[in-house]
Chain A
């Protein structure tokens, strides 16, 4: 069964550094998302992306965040200058095909900002 994949599984970075989290959505999906889960808190929506542009973004998704679909398979989340509070699990999701109402999530990237 097709899956959403994410790399890396874990990333440790210094405060102020840029990080890029990568996702490969399910191949026939057209809708892409990023969510995050700070330890002990709810999974929170960050951004949705369709047709090469952002469809919706949350208040969390400020100017430090950006998303890109650089080629036909990857979907990336960039954090320009990481802060301590960016430490979280970041989940990518995709939707599309026959079951457009369901989002399928990747295994997540655990980001630790020191």
Chain B
């Protein structure tokens, strides 16, 4: 069945790069997403990548997709205290907007001074 796995915690020093990793099982994934959840808040879509791409860059965010290994990563350059949050990797297998999204457990990113 569909499953998305990610490590639970990551701690980085302010100013360093953060790399959050994710693996998924469904080879028919079409879109892969990164959502951010700050304490008490909802799920904010950060970025997403179509499965025929292997990289996408958006300002401080870089998404890398290795479709062969079913591995997705999110790199946050120059990590700031405001980046402290839970980051969810997610995927969908549909092309239609009606398709459900499958989420990982989330990685809690904490920033050390």
Contacts and interface: CB of A to CB of B under 8 A. Distances in A.
Interface of A: 4, 6, 30-31, 33, 35, 41-45, 48, 50, 55-56, 58, 91, 93, 95-96, 100-108
A45 B100 contact: yes
A45 B42 CA distance: 15
A42 B31 CA distance: 19
A48 B102 CA distance: 13
Nearest to B101: A103
B102 to A, nearest CB: 7
B97 A100 contact: yes
Contacts of B35: 105
Contact of A42 (B30, B44, B100, B104): B104
Given A33-B100, A102-B48, A105-B35, 18 more contacts: A6-B42, A42-B103, A42-B106, A43-B103, A44-B103, A48-B99, A48-B100, A56-B99, A91-B42, A100-B96, A101-B30, A101-B48, A101-B92, A101-B95, A102-B31, A105-B44, A106-B42, A107-B41
Contact of B98 (A31, A41, A44, A91): A31
B43 A42 contact: no
B87 interface: no
Given A42-B105, A43-B88, A105 B42 contact: yes
Interface of B: 30-31, 33, 35, 41-45, 48, 50, 88, 90, 92, 95-106
A-B CB proximity, top 10 nearest: A107-B42, A105-B43, A45-B100, A55-B98, A43-B103, A31-B97, A100-B97, A95-B97, A105-B42, A48-B98
B5 to A, nearest CB: 10
B31 A101 contact: yes
21 contacts: A6-B42, A31-B97, A31-B98, A35-B101, A35-B103, A42-B105, A43-B88, A44-B103, A48-B98, A50-B97, A56-B100, A91-B42, A91-B43, A100-B97, A101-B30, A103-B101, A105-B35, A105-B42, A105-B43, A105-B44, A105-B45
